[in-house]
């Protein structure tokens, strides 16, 4: 029974360990702009598909997953519920595409600052990381 409980408690940590995060950064904007865009690369090293379903940060009131795209010659942006991360694949959140929309900063951020972020996955697991603010 103890072994079963240990496996159940550690299962979400095992799932998160399969997702590697690289190059996490936030675009620096003037303090008067109420939103920032966050970018990163996710690599699912596991054998099954993972879904990134959300994110949060103590520095921002709200963080959403968004997708930018061109339609009829105009750039548009929509929130999305999740990003699918198939097994053994890489997914980039990058300018002009998928990104984290970070809204209503609670504090001023400057180039070089590190901002904590928590990624949330469909299996209930979470992964903490640091994003660097860049010009």
Read off the pLDDT of residues 10-38 as tens digits, 9 standing for 90 and up.
444 444 458 999 999 999 999 899 999 99
DSSP string, the chain: -HHHHHHHHHHHHHHHHTEEEEEEEEE---TT--EEEEEEEEEE-SSS-EEEEEEE-TTEEEEEEEEEEEETTEEEEEE-S-EEE-TTEEEEE-TTSEEEEEEEESS---TT-EEEEEEEETTS-EEEEEEEEE-
Q: What number does CATH give the domain 2-134? A: 2.60.40.1890
Read off the pLDDT of residues 78-128 as tens digits, 9 standing for 90 and up.
999 999 999 999 999 999 999 999 999 999 999 999 999 999 999 899 999
């Amino acid at each position: 029974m103890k072994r079963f409980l240990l496996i159940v408690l550690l299962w979400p940590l095992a799932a998160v360990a399969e997702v590697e995060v690289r190059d996490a950064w936030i675009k620096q904007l003037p303090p008067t702009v109420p939103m920032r865009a966050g970018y990163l690369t996710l690599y699912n090293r596991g054998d099954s598909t993972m879904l990134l379903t959300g994110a949060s940060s103590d520095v921002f009131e709200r963080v959403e997953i968004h997708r930018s795209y061109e339609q009829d010659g105009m750039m548009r942006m929509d929130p999305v519920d999740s990003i699918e991360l198939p097994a053994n694949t890489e997914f980039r959140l990058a300018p002009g595409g998928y990104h984290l929309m970070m809204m209503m900063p609670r504090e001023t951020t400057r180039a070089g600052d590190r901002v904590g972020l928590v990624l949330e996955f469909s299996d209930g697991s979470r992964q903490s990381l640091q994003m660097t603010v860049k010009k």
